[in-house]
Chain A
Amino acid sequence: MTFRVSTDLPREIVSLRQSLFLATGGGITIAGVWLLYDMYAEGGVGALEWVLMALFVVLFSQIAFGFSIALWGFLIRLRGERFDIMRTIDGLDESTSPGSTAIVMPVYNEDPARIFRGLENMLVSLKETGQSESFDLFILSDSNQPENWVDEECAWASLCSRLQLHGRVYYRKRRVSLHGKSGNIADFCRRWGRRYRYLVILDADSVMTGKTLVRLARAMDANPTVGIIQTAPKIVRGISFFQRLTQFATHTLGPLFAAGSNFWHLAGGSYWGHNAIIRLQPFMDHCVLPELPGRTADDRHILSHDTVEAALMQQAGYQVWFAFNEDGSYEEGPPNLSESLKRDRRWAQGNLQHFWFLLAPRTHFTNRIHMFFGLMAYLSAPLLVIFIVLSAIDYHGKMKAAIYADRLSDPAWTEAWRNGLLLLSITLLMLFGAKLLGWLHTLPRARQFGGMLRMTASTLLETVTAVLLAPILLWFHTKFVVLTLLGLRVSWKTQNRSDSRIPFAQAVREYGMLPLAGAVVLGVTLYWMPVLTLWLSPILAGWLLAVPLVMVTSSDEVGQWLRRRGLLVIPEETAPPEVLRGLDAIPPALVRPGSSSNLPHYGFAQVLLAPWANAVHIALLRRSNARSHYTAALENITQQLLALGPDAIGRRERMALLWNADALATLHRRIWQTPEENLHPWWREAMHACAESPRSRKE
């Protein structure tokens, strides 16, 4: 049945669903707290127990509400969802063009080959819809590595040429990368935001089908009160064991959490910063990021901008929806735990900043919930550590007292511990129940996941590995929260999505503290409280095995071995969609000739030598660039470069040259005019590569 946002979503439905969601999560939390109180009551509830119960409410509610989302998601998936934003376009005329849409992809030193292969597939897919006239694409680069910059330009120019898309696909390089991704998008809005009705934001690894892009724009056309529609991107193209675990989990559990989230928030959704469509005018009018209270400019800058933008959009009276059931939206996951943690550290700091909005008077209820969950995703780690330590102290005291009073066989005592075991069972049921629901939901499509047996084995493998990885996350999330609270900043770093393997030395350097800590805790508990060792065994196992675990999960070989055996397989692997094909192939403009495969600074050589790369680069530099005069300092750099090769100058100097049109034109002429014997040997190789390069030859 078609759904109309304007008429078919009464307030009562929203209230009912939010009440049901809160009642489920809240009810489970109350039951858990009751059991814990009952357990404590036997030995007397003192100050320590009250502190423990307060911590328990916070921690247990996270598990309870997580399970609640999965449960409602499962039920919704069983009976179907009427309130799906993408159903608002069912039956509408598909021949009319959707509103003008800018697709923007901010990039920052990511692999240019992967970026442009993904974009090419998207553009081809968009062309096939017959509606591509409504879309322009912008690559907004903040890359600060000379190689990346040159490669991005060459790949862009080649893409425009091959698809005949000049004037529809643009490449812009910012000189000053102010405020990272959010600053890059704000810069786009300032320049061209008024030209477009909608904005689709992509990450460097995002891929969306043309059909999905058109459908999103149509959904925005059909619902003028909708400000943002967020899709649920599927994680695909996993190579390493870690990536394959992540993609399998998001394919089996993701649909439940997505449907469950839409169930409770409906028009009050969140925004994840990419693979989403935004109504531009209200975004520019109302979603320019505010400053946080703080002493320094860094303190005042919002790091995780997406959730705040969704909140501001709702404050302005626009709805934020989650296209939870829409296919054709993809992204890739980090290749190993280290890269995942690097991202977590950034997110931890960003999510903790949202604390300010929790208490802001105008923040909507659903946004407060989103922000609270985001905050607790990291804050719960140190709280759990405190809870475990205090519980151990409490347990030790009570055991000693019970042994002293010879009460271990007392019925009241055993009843209390029976409650404890019941509580543990409920906790485990909720932790693993979501996985079970995910398995049940995936069962009818088991063939796409390698068959029922393999899908079941994959679920078990994913569960066991997740259990072992959880204590490592506990350790690092605690560290991130503490570092953030101490005011140590996090910089915007490139996510490495390609190099996965973590060698032994790196694993020991980054994770060596965990087995040490595990051994100490194991020794202490074995000596003082042997029974507690059993309770702590999942955490101790994760810490003691951290180094081999991190190494094994980072392995491409293990990942591929599992794939060959049909484990951790996802539907996009059994039947790959067209838009994901060929993403590993190198775009023609970036193919290196065999003789130069090991030539360092290859891109830099091309921009100085190859007439095409040199001309494209100069043509894109801004005319008004005040620093484009060929100064004495640049002449000095040039002479060093010619005589000593590119290693004689640093990255900054190479970037300075790349920003200077006069210097590049002069260098291009001078290199071609200088006899080989007056040039550093690197140039000979570079000239040879240039003669063989596809940037010089016909592709």
Chain B
Amino acid sequence: MGEVIPDELSDWTDACLRLEDYLNAHRIPDREHVLRLNLALVDEARREHARDPSRTPLDVTMSLATQRVEAWFSRLADDSAPSNPRLAARGRALWFTNDLYEQFPSAFLTEPPPDSLRDAVRSVTLRTGPDLELARLTRQEVDYGPMEEIASGTWQQFSWGHVLRAFLIWVCIFFAAYGSYLAFFQK
């Protein structure tokens, strides 16, 4: 592994700081463990970077860290299945919600993880409910009485054409009646 040239120094500093933030976000109380992990991951990232200098130090370091963390949490949740984001999320969620980071302050990213940690993670699951017991709900049929028939009859038969025709008929009747009145009764 060659010397870090001055131009790259600030890039590696950024990568170290970002990695430290990322590890701290996992609430690891053992500060020394975080520093050890940080150093180990950055060393590995430098070797990786030496093989492929086209990538930035931050990209290489954080890719390595996120992959490593995801794989570790996946295995913690279920080591019989291949690593995947969902499995990793399950393991990571339980790491936090069960306060396992407190019970296992130096276990983060250790290989293999302690059996007791694995058992603790697998003893609880985050679920949206207990096991389903599906029930069929059948909508009640209610007899609303005679009003329903009147209303539905109205809705089925209603149209503005009908209203207009009725209106015209009554207007004609009115004028016919009024005309008759004028013609026959008005003195």
Please report A residues at the B interface, Cβ cutoff 8 Å: 136, 138, 157-158, 160-161, 166-167, 170-173, 186, 189-195, 284, 286-295, 312, 356-357, 359-362, 609-612, 614-620, 622-623, 661-662, 665-666, 668-669, 672-676, 687, 690-691, 696-698
Contact = CB atoms under 8 A, between A and B. Distances in A.
A107 B151 CA distance: 36
Contacts of A173: 128
Contacts of B85: 618, 661-662, 665-666
B145 to A, nearest CB: 5
Contacts, number: 179
**SS class, residues of chain B in contact with chain A:** helix
B103 interface: no
Given A290-B142, A612-B96, A665-B85, A193 B62 contact: no
A696 B25 contact: yes
A286 B86 contact: no
B89 A194 contact: no
Contact of A619 (B93, B136, B151, B152): B93
A614 B63 CA distance: 17
**SS class, residues of chain A in contact with chain B:** helix
Contacts of A288: 137-140
Q: Interface centre among B24, B89, B124, by most A CB within 10 Å?
A: B89
Interface in B140-157: 140-148, 151-152, 155
Given A293-B144, A616-B96, A673-B62, A193 B89 contact: no
Interface of B: 14, 18, 21-22, 24-27, 29, 56, 58-59, 62-63, 65-66, 69-70, 73, 85-86, 88-93, 95-99, 102, 124, 126-130, 132-148, 151-152, 155
For the complex of A and B, the 7 pairs showing the least CB-CB separation, nearest first, are A665-B85, A618-B89, A615-B92, A615-B93, A194-B133, A673-B62, A172-B128
Contact of A287 (B25, B65, B140): B140
Contacts of A612: 25, 27, 92-93, 96-97
A93 B154 CA distance: 59
Contacts of B21: 687, 690-691
A277 to B, nearest CB: 19
A668 B86 CA distance: 13
A612 B136 CA distance: 37
Given A360-B144, A661-B89, A673-B66, A284 B99 contact: no
Given A618-B85, A618-B89, A291 B139 contact: yes
Nearest to B101: A698
A672 B133 contact: no
Nearest to A192: B129
Contact of B128 (A170, A294, A672, A697): A170
A195 B133 contact: yes
A293 B62 contact: no
20 contacts: A170-B127, A171-B128, A173-B128, A186-B137, A190-B136, A192-B130, A195-B130, A287-B140, A294-B155, A295-B155, A312-B140, A357-B144, A359-B147, A360-B144, A611-B25, A612-B92, A615-B90, A661-B86, A672-B22, A675-B58
B144 A286 contact: no
A691 B147 contact: no
A138 B129 CA distance: 8
A234 to B, nearest CB: 31
Contacts of B56: 675
B58 A293 contact: no
Contact of B27 (A609, A665, A696): A696
Given A190-B135, A190-B137, A360 B93 contact: no
Contacts of B124: 166-167
A611 B91 CA distance: 11
Nearest to B102: A698
A151 B27 CA distance: 19
Contacts of B147: 293, 356, 359
A599 B145 CA distance: 58
A672 B102 contact: no
Given A138-B129, A192-B132, A611-B69, 12 more contacts: A166-B97, A167-B130, A356-B144, A359-B144, A360-B145, A362-B143, A611-B25, A612-B96, A615-B93, A619-B93, A622-B128, A665-B88
B27 A157 contact: no
Contacts of B65: 672
A161 B98 contact: yes
Contacts of B96: 157, 161, 611-612, 615-616
A611 B126 contact: no
A651 B135 CA distance: 34
A286 B142 CA distance: 11
Contact of B133 (A192, A290, A312, A611): A192
Contacts of A157: 93, 96-97, 126
Contact of B141 (A170, A290, A669, A696): A290
Contacts of B140: 286-290, 312
Given A166-B124, A360-B145, A696 B24 contact: yes
Given A295-B155, A623-B86, A160 B27 contact: no
Contacts of A191: 129, 132-134
A172 B130 CA distance: 11
Contacts of B88: 615, 665
A212 B95 CA distance: 36
Contacts of A161: 96-99
A616 B144 contact: no
B38 to A, nearest CB: 14
Q: Interface centre among B18, B63, B73, B128, by most A CB within 10 Å?
A: B128
B27 A616 contact: no
Nearest to B21: A691
A327 B88 CA distance: 47
Contact of A620 (B24, B91, B128, B151): B128
A293 B14 contact: no
Nearest to B22: A672
A676 to B, nearest CB: 8
B88 to A, nearest CB: 8
Contact of A189 (B63, B137, B148): B137
Contacts of B145: 359-361
A659 to B, nearest CB: 14
Contacts of A674: 58-59
A356 B148 contact: yes
A662 B136 CA distance: 33
A26 B44 CA distance: 89
B147 to A, nearest CB: 5
B123 to A, nearest CB: 9
Nearest to B29: A698
A698 B28 CA distance: 9
Contacts of B98: 161, 166
Given A672-B22, A691-B21, A293 B152 contact: yes
A531 to B, nearest CB: 40
B69 to A, nearest CB: 8
A124 B106 CA distance: 33
A687 to B, nearest CB: 7
Contacts of B102: 698
Nearest to A168: B130
Contacts of A170: 127-130
B90 A619 contact: yes
Contacts of B69: 611
Contacts of A160: 97
Contact of B97 (A292, A361, A616, A666): A616
